[in-house]
Amino acid sequence: MPDLADKTVLLGVTGGISAYKVAELARLLVKAGVNVKVVMTEAGQQFVTPLTFRTLTGNPVATTMWSDPGSPFPHISLSDEADLIVVAPATANIIAKMAGGIADDLLSTTLLAARGTVVVAPAMNSRMYLNPITQANLEKLRRMGVVVLAPGEGGLACRTEGVGRMAEPSEIFDAVASELAVTSDLEGRRVLVTAGPTREYIDPVRFISNPSTGLMGYTVAARAARRGADVTLISGPVELPCPPGVRLVNVVSAADMKEAVLENLADSDVLVMAAAVADYTPAQVAPSKMKKSEGVPELKFTATADILKEVAPRKDGRIVVGFAAETDDVVDNARKKLKGKDLDLIVANKVGEPGSGFGSSTDLAAVISEADSDATLTMMSKIELADLLLDRVTGLFK
């Protein structure tokens, strides 16, 4: 088990019957040397008293925004102090608040201000858990980098059988210990990540692009920040929130992306080029909207700059990671790109497969270096892929 003695965990206790189990989780964390602080919602206090957690943790229990006159901004101070936040039980209500950005009490406000890792342990009636709204909210949280611990099946408090039982305290403890073990292995490292598509405009209202949602790059940025890195994210146009603790640089075109990468390269130790940068751009951009009545236009294109090739002579000891989204001969094509662009690692990703590629939360992928004699594509979540990639990156520093 990793050394947890210098860690601080914030427990968010909400209004579910399994709140009584969280007392055991607090005991396990304290026994491991963790400094445990607790925030309880008003409903959570109906199941377990704040005195229980104060006795177990030795710390005052926060219950309202106004409970500590010495701290006018408890939602900020609590989130700043915590290496990790656990919400258990995570009711459908708090999950919906997190997904929607609602901040109407101390816990939800603290979660909105959180910069580090958040772990949620859902617990509710089966029908509430399986409701499409709850499932969509959980998927949104996963996309944001929240660690969701799947509930178990069995007897529920409502005297029915089904899914919805909160994960056992020992399981939550193991997940917390695992997350805490990797929260600082990139501390002091500067990571530059690109994400999303680029847009190559034909006229003021039309452009050529691709289906990239930016989810892979944003996930890499979020997980790198979670591991202590100083992260800059250069993003094409997407509809994703900037991960907590990440500096965002917005760009539009491939030329913009190139300029931003070269401007920020000197201040980075690692470059992860996850963006789907356009290969071609119109040779000329019409100054005004082209009219359909003028007939079908003839478009001529020029190649965009190859950013990775321009980075190669500027590597100067930096770790550079590329992505190869391929439909055929995925590993072979990725190896060619790895060698041809002087990359340290490449993520080979098969697109066009169900559940893999643009817009999907999973990828059929492999992380490959020149030393890897064998590489097998494996279906994994983008979070798992990002963590695997960062594991390989940290290995190159040793």
Residues 6+ apart with CB under 8 A from 90: 14, 120, 121, 122, 123
- Closest among 54, 179, 193 to 116, alpha carbons compared: 179
The whole-angstrom separation of Cα 148 and Cα 189 is: 27
Of 158, 299, 303, 396, catalytic: 158
Note the Cα 126 to chain centre separation in Å: 27
How does DSSP classify residue 270? E
Residue with tokens 């190869």: 324
What is the full DSSP assignment across 51-106? HHHHHHHSSPEE-STTS-TT-S-HHHHHHHH-SEEEEEEE-HHHHHHHHHT---SH
The whole-angstrom separation of Cα 332 and Cα 328 is: 9
**Distance set, CA 389 to CA 6, 121, 136, 259, 274 (Å):** 27, 26, 27, 25, 11
Please provide the distance, in angstroms rounded to a whole number, between the alpha carbons at the two ends of the chain.
22
Strands 378-381 and 362-368: antiparallel
Determine the angle formed by the axes of helices 169-181 and 19-31, rounding to 10 degrees: 50
The whole-angstrom separation of Cα 146 and Cα 94 is: 13
**Catalytic annotation present for 158:** yes
Task: Cite the active site residues.
Answer: 158
